[in-house]
Amino acid sequence: MAVTLEEARRVGYTCLKALLRFAFMVANNLVAIPSYVLYLIMLQPLRVLDSESFWYLEGVLFKWLLAMVASWGWWAGYTVVEWGDDVKAVSEDEAMVLVNHQATGDVCTLMMCLQDKGTVVRQMMWLMDHIFKYTNFGIVSLIHGDFFIRQGRAHRDQQLVLLKEHLEKYYRSRNRKWIVLFPEGGFLRKRRETSQEFAKKNNLPFLKHVTLPRLGATQVILKTLVPPQENGTPVGGDAVIKESKSKGLQWVIDTTIAYPKGEPLDIQTWILGYRQPMVTHVHYRIFPVKDVPAEPEALTHWLYQRFIEKEDLLTHFYETGAFPPLPGQKKAISREMTLSNLWLVGIQSLAFLSGGMWYCIFRYFYHCLF
């Protein structure tokens, strides 16, 4: 079939726009990430003298970097509408965030929709696949204290031990409050068939839009970050919690991401912007951690129930284009998430100015030495 002149122009414009966006993203990374690292190197004396202030400043820089990633999607017209509980109400408390996982764009979506949730972004810890350690953002996540987890049965037990040690060492010493994980252990398209076979063998529900979650990381997080309770007060002499004056983990935020027609965004689309503007829908349910069972069998059942509910939520969304009301509500309430273009431009400008400043500094010392 012959291609019309109008279609050729549209394809040409899309390719040109994608090329320009990619060039901007590369330039953005070349100035922003080295600047983040260099600023923190310069701040090392502060880390020795006042660790809390150092990690506060690191968190601010980290939030700015995530805002830059969010801006790539925001300016391409990839916006977010939020449903369910308002998580801003618990943004200053410690929380574990459980998210369904469909594609690499899920992380970018979270980076965007959590930007307006107070101090959450700068004080959060991410659990992500170890492969991300080798991406351009890997050095940032390593410095920030995120945890890279290796998938696969052969590594599972060792990874859970390492996760516990990581949480004990970094979570409260760096004043983290939210921890984000994807309990399915991989993308939906990769795990769905295996999950359905497991469900059939164990007389569990047949799920199409999510997979059955894995217990390990969730259990380790709850055991490590929730203080033992006796008559409502912590017991067992949890020195880490007392030292940081933390109340411990207080909430579990069950987060469900839905894409129109079930077609998720990937990181390539987020960067290049070749897909038409679209709205991603994010649904939240908040559970008090005291209502989450500690015993492995009961916790497994509780976690399975959350993902069975996700299945129902996503089925309803794909059929109607909206999430259903929360229990006790007559009508579902949605909230359009917004970002300030002026703020995003300011952060991007700061990144390029910082890159220019570091270039001038290195050039000056180079001439002085040689």
Residue-level pLDDT at 230: 43
Q: Domain tally for the chain?
A: 1
**Residue 127 β-bridge partners:** 147
pLDDT digits (tens, 9 = 90+) for 120-133: 999 999 998 888 88
- Residue range 351-364: average pLDDT? 92
Predicted local distance difference test score (pLDDT) of residue 111: 93
Nearest alpha-carbon partner for 323 in 254, 369, 270:
254
- pLDDT of 238 reads 44
Torsion of CA 213, 219, 225, 228, to 10 degrees: 140
312 inside domain: yes
In a domain, 79, yes or no: yes
pLDDT tens per residue across span 238-248: 434 444 456 78
- Bridge partners, 36 (sequence order): none
Q: Looking at the domain assignment, is residue 294 inside a domain?
A: yes
Contact (Cβ atoms closer than 8 angstroms) between residue 88 and residue 287: no
> Could you tell me if residue 89 is left (phi over 0), alpha (psi between -120 and 50 degrees) or otherwise beta?
alpha
Task: Give me the DSSP letters along 115-176.
Answer: TTSTTTGGGEEEEEEGGGGGSTTHHHHHHHT-EEE--STTTHHHHHHHHHHHIIIIITTTT-
In a domain, 140, yes or no: yes
Report pLDDT for 246.
63
Please work out, in degrees rounded to the nearest 5, the angle formed at the alpha carbon of residue 253 by the alpha carbons of 230 and 79: 165
Report the C-alpha dihedral over residues 173, 178, 182, 183, rounded to 10 degrees: 80
**Mean pLDDT over the full length of the chain:** 89
pTM: 0.90
Q: pLDDT: is 282 or 150 the higher one? A: 282
Give the residue-averaged pLDDT of 46-70: 95
The boundaries of the domain holding residue 269 are: 5-227+247-324+331-369
Residue 74 in any domain: the answer is yes
| pLDDT score for 244 | 47
- What digits encode the pLDDT tens for the residues 199-220? 899 999 999 999 999 999 999 9
Residue 241 in any domain: the answer is no
User: Residue 110: pLDDT above 80?
Assistant: yes
Q: Is residue 234 within 8 Å of residue 248, measured between CB atoms?
A: yes
pLDDT of 152 strictly over 60: yes
> Looking at the domain assignment, is residue 354 inside a domain?
yes
Q: Half-sphere exposure of 5 toward its Cβ, with a 13 Å CA cutoff?
A: 0
Which pLDDT belongs to residue 237? 38
In a domain, 237, yes or no: no
- Give me the sign of the Cα torsion angle 84, 88, 94, 96: positive
Confidence of residue 330 (pLDDT cuts 50, 70, 90): confident
Can you count the helices (H) and strands (E) in the chain?
12, 10
In this predicted structure, what is the pLDDT of residue 88? 92
pLDDT (mean) for 81-105: 94
254 closest CA partner among 209, 304, 318: 304
Nearest to 142 by CA among 221, 62, 69: 62
